[in-house]
Amino acid sequence: MNTDGLIVVDKPAGMTSHDVVARIRRLAKTRRVGHGGTLDPMATGVLIIGVNRATRLLTYVIGSGKSYAATIRLGQSTITDDAEGDVTATTPAGHVTDEAIHDGLARQRGEIDQVPSAVSAIKIKGERAYKRVREGEDVQIPARRVTISRLEILDIRRTDDDVVDIDIDVTCSSGTYIRAIARDLGTLLEVGGHLTALRRTAVGDMTLAEARTLEQLEESAPDVVTLPMAEAARQAFSQREATAEEAKVLSHGGPLDPVGITGPYAVFAPTGEVLAIVSEREGKARAEIVLAPA
């Protein structure tokens, strides 16, 4: 049984990411469990869970690019910029043309400055923004530079004169708010907008194709790890094979000679065990985290 590794979970709607962590703690019979990037309760799809030593890989998972399938509704604004919040304004959107929608979303492709939703977990003066909003405060969150590398329109649906629903497919940098895309499109077109559906389809190279539902994990418990440590590291990082002597040095936190690999990479022992995540700087390959027991 693999006790250290990652789990690609297909999160159901209605659960927080912390709810999923709590469930995995019970199934895996360990307290050392964390997640690699929050999904709102409304959202479904890929949530990466780290178990035991693999929780140390989550720092890198959180920074990975992400992909989503989502639905924007034009004609209604909500306090949360998604369907979980109360509607704050309604403006008939039936007159908005397909061309205007395409042009509006095109403005959000590439590197942009995006203002996160006010009802978010971002801390403002030490307190979560959503708590300040619930207390009646007018919260202003500074814009952040994000990259939206792909934003494709899959379908535009007009069921009545009041709302327009737009299915989109998005690939973006970490820190991008998909509900902010909906809000900003609605603002640009002067009809308001919010997100009615959100499904995360990938985190880095980990996709829904390898995801497991909580029901499937229940059936295999306590053997719930789907990507053992070495496999997870091979999937997420560039790789370097160490000699037996290098493995001994690295396991004790010592530096190796550089080999010219850019960015953090995984170093493996001759036995196939992942030893550490390493980066090259100042003429040495130094461990950022040591994963193998000394």
At 134-163, the pLDDT tens digits run 655 566 778 999 999 999 999 999 988 899
The identity of residue 117, as a single letter, is S
> Which residues are the active-site residues?
40
pLDDT of amino acid 154? 98
Would you say how long the chain is, in residues? 294
At 196-235, the pLDDT tens digits run 999 999 999 999 999 999 999 999 999 999 999 999 999 8
Secondary structure, 3-state, 189-224: CCCCEEEEEEEEEEECCEEHHHCECHHHHHHHCCCC
pLDDT of amino acid 252? 87
pLDDT of amino acid 99? 98
CA 9 – CA 11 distance, rounded (Å): 6
Going from the first residue of the chain to its last (294 residues), give the mean pLDDT of each consecutive group of 10, the final group possibly shorter: 90 95 96 92 96 93 94 95 92 96 98 85 60 61 93 95 95 95 98 97 94 97 94 91 94 92 93 94 93 71
Buried b (16+ CB within 10 A) or exposed e, 46-69: bbbbbbbbbbbbbebbbebbbbbb
Contact in structure between 139 and 167 (CB atoms under 8 Å): no
pLDDT of amino acid 131? 62
pLDDT of amino acid 161? 80
Q: Give the bridge partners for 50, in sequence order.
A: 6, 34
Q: Which H/E stretch holds residue 38?
A: none
pTM of the model as a whole: 0.90
